[in-house]
Amino acid sequence: VKYELYYWPHIQGRGEFVRLALEEGAADYVDVARLPESEGGGRAAVARLLEDAADGRTPFAPPVLKAGTFLISQTANILQYLGPRLKLVPKDEATRLWAHGLQLTLTDLVVEAHDTHHPIAKSLYYEDQKPEALRRAADFRALRLPKFLGYFERVLAGNPGGDRHLVGKSLTYIDLSMFQVIAGLSYAFPRAMEAMSRKHPKLAVLHRRVQERPRIAAYLASSRRIPFNDRGVFRHYPELDEA
């Protein structure tokens, strides 16, 4: 096996961005924590990886990708590594830096989506920060979501390689990540996102096209795709969506 992904086995979470790249790239990989515990899987596999490593290079948080002797953390960093190897980003440096910048912007959006249900503390239950979550989510829907999606719609419209992709002339890991963000936001905020996709038609088309790619469609239909649930980054609490 060429790649080992270490990520929580019960959620899509941030690991999903890596899973999608590995799937589209037809990579030889194992989603380690999804193996039975008797085969070294389960949450314990992730926990073990986050124990202090002998070489002092312990990752802070999953997802983590093991590739040969490399242990790579941070979603955008993992994708920057996998991109050229899975032919999911153009080779030239300028384009790769642009792509990485876009991925980091998606990372920021993911944090803000998370903070709608956990605006005060990760360590508290949603139920213990609900008034703050309601305020944060209202602001997210009214201002942040349109700002981020408007930005990505403009990037798509202005891509010199054409508006079928965010970067270059063919599919990149940025398109895959954008698909996942739209899928997650649509799960979390179905009503707000309905209006949003009407306002951002090019993103809506990109989302659909990625979903229909043969390898992605096969992956989404498989048991490897964990359903969205109320433990991941994207959670559906109806009261946080538009009235």
Which of 3, 34, 74, 175 is the binder for ligand GSH (CB under 6 A)?
A: 74
What six digits make up the tokens of 145? 């979501």
- For residue 107, state whether it binds ligand GSH (rule: CB under 6 A): yes
Evaluate whether 182 touches 174 at the Cβ level (below 8 Å).
no
Question: Does 177 contact ligand GSH by CB under 6 A?
Answer: no
Residue 207 found at the interface with ligand GSH (CB under 6 A): no
If one asks whether residue 168 binds ligand GSH (CB under 6 A), the answer comes out as no
| Cβ(23)–Cβ(215) below 8 Å | yes
Q: Rank residues 121 and 157 by Cβ distance to ligand GSH and give the closer one.
A: 121
CA dihedral 79, 40, 125, 226 (to 10 degrees): 60
Torsion angles phi and psi, residue 180, rounded to 5:
-65, -40
**61 touches ligand GSH (CB under 6 A):** yes
Amino acid found at 16: E
Tokens standing for 105?
Answer: 């912007």
Tell me the C-alpha distance between 142 and 149, whole Å.
12
Whose Cβ is closer to ligand GSH: residue 122's or residue 198's? 122
Q: How far is the CB of 71 from ligand GSH (least distance, A)?
A: 13
Determine if 197 is a binding residue for ligand GSH (CB under 6 A): no
Comparing CB distances to ligand GSH, the nearer of 111 and 218 is: 111
C-alpha closest to that of 75 among 11, 5, 14: 14
Asked whether 82 and 173 are in contact (CB, 8 A), the reply is yes
Does 62 contact ligand GSH by CB under 6 A?
yes
C-alpha separations of 34 from 12, 72, 218 in Å: 12, 19, 18
Is 9 or 63 the residue whose CB approaches ligand GSH more closely? 63
Contact pick of 23, 31, 66, 75 for ligand GSH (by CB under 6 A): 75
* Sole window of 55-63, 86-94, 180-188, 220-228 interacting with ligand GSH (rule: CB under 6 A): 55-63
Compute the least distance from the CB of residue 137 to ligand GSH, in Å.
19
Q: Interface with ligand GSH by CB under 6 A: which residues?
A: 13-14, 61-63, 74-75, 107
